[in-house]
Amino acid sequence: MKFDTAVFEVQDLLYTINGTDIIKDISLVVKKGEYSAVIGPNGGGKTTLVRLLLGLEKKTKGSIKLFGQKQKAFKAWDKIGYVPQRVSQIDQFFPATVEEVVKMGRTAKRGLFTRESQEDRNAVESAMTKMDVLNLRQKLVGELSGGQRQRVMIARALASKPEVLILDEPNTGVDMVSQNRFYGLLRELNQKDRMTILFITHDVGVIADDIQSMLCINQTLLACNNPHEVLSCSEMSKLYGIDAHLIHHHHH
């Protein structure tokens, strides 16, 4: 593997709180352009893993590289768009329009007090177009449905023109029609824009046809391979400790 093809490289990652291992012995590689699902039981460490990758939590031991650079030396954080959990459940009185929220995704890139450039405006337009929220630009975010808010939050992440998109359970409280549309948008970002996607989800069945790899995490990494092979009931039962049945939803 060429060195520069890895977006994330993790070796022997350990994260301990008060003597309890939340994450242990995790080694993994996410390659450029890969669409990868992160699955596992609640409390299994999925969100923690992502927060460690992003430097939002401090690892206890192990090494994390981003785009081939040690995490400490890595500065190009605008290459990574992150949509955290429950982000679509904004306070309904939040006084910002869709366009203002998406623009926030540019602020990180250019700094708060720098004037907005044509490039900023183009990036915001492009992100809103991709996520199909242009027609909502003047609406207050609090007035939107869960599915619309979700798309706005992803547009905000896309506004900085990232190379990687990390989504943490973005579908909480979003109806099925919006979800399917959303999966289609992600598939396009991955296939057309070659965007690397790391998607934490409970319902891996719906994206099973789109993803190239799957990281099954329950404190440690249980499997990391072809989604179609790992989706067998015995593997899943081992992972979740239950009799799991996963259904492929084919949606082509």
pLDDT in tens, 89-106: 666 667 889 999 999 888
Between 185 and 110, residue with greater pLDDT: 185
Between 242 and 168, residue with greater pLDDT: 168
Find out whether 62 and 13 touch, Cβ atoms under 8 Å. Answer: yes
Domain membership flag for residue 111: yes
CA gap 116, 212 in Å, rounded? 37
The answer to whether residue 33 scores a pLDDT higher than 60 is: yes
pLDDT digits (tens, 9 = 90+) for 102-159: 998 887 666 666 788 889 899 999 999 988 899 999 999 888 888 888 889 899 999 9
Domain membership flag for residue 252: no
Task: List the domain range (segments joined by +) for residue 201.
Answer: 3-240
Domain membership flag for residue 203: yes
Task: Work out the number of other CB atoms within 10 angstroms of the CB of residue 17.
Answer: 11
CA gap 125, 119 in Å, rounded? 10
The answer to whether residue 31 scores a pLDDT higher than 80 is: yes
Band the pLDDT of 242: cuts 50, 70, 90: very low
The answer to whether residue 40 scores a pLDDT higher than 70 is: yes
Q: Which pLDDT score is estimated for 210?
A: 83
> Which of 51-65, 71-85, 89-103, 166-180 is most confident?
51-65
pTM of the model as a whole: 0.82
Whichever domain contains 67, its CATH number is 3.40.50.300
Q: Which pLDDT score is estimated for 251?
A: 41
Q: Which pLDDT score is estimated for 110?
A: 64
Question: What's the domain count of the chain?
Answer: 1
Between 124 and 205, residue with greater pLDDT: 124
Domain membership flag for residue 71: yes
Domain membership flag for residue 182: yes
Q: Which pLDDT score is estimated for 10?
A: 93
Domain membership flag for residue 247: no
Radius of gyration of the chain (CA): 18
Long-range contacts of range 226-235, CB-CB < 8 Å, 24 or more positions apart?
227/37, 231/204, 231/205
CA gap 50, 73 in Å, rounded? 18
Domain membership flag for residue 245: no
Name the helix (H) or strand (E) containing 70: strand 69-70
Lowest mean pLDDT among 1-10, 121-130, 139-148, 183-192: 1-10
Q: Which pLDDT score is estimated for 4?
A: 56
Band the pLDDT of 229: cuts 50, 70, 90: low
The answer to whether residue 60 scores a pLDDT higher than 70 is: yes
Domain membership flag for residue 220: yes
CA gap 132, 9 in Å, rounded? 33
Q: How far apart are the first and last CA of the chain?
A: 31
Find out whether 145 and 98 touch, Cβ atoms under 8 Å. Answer: no
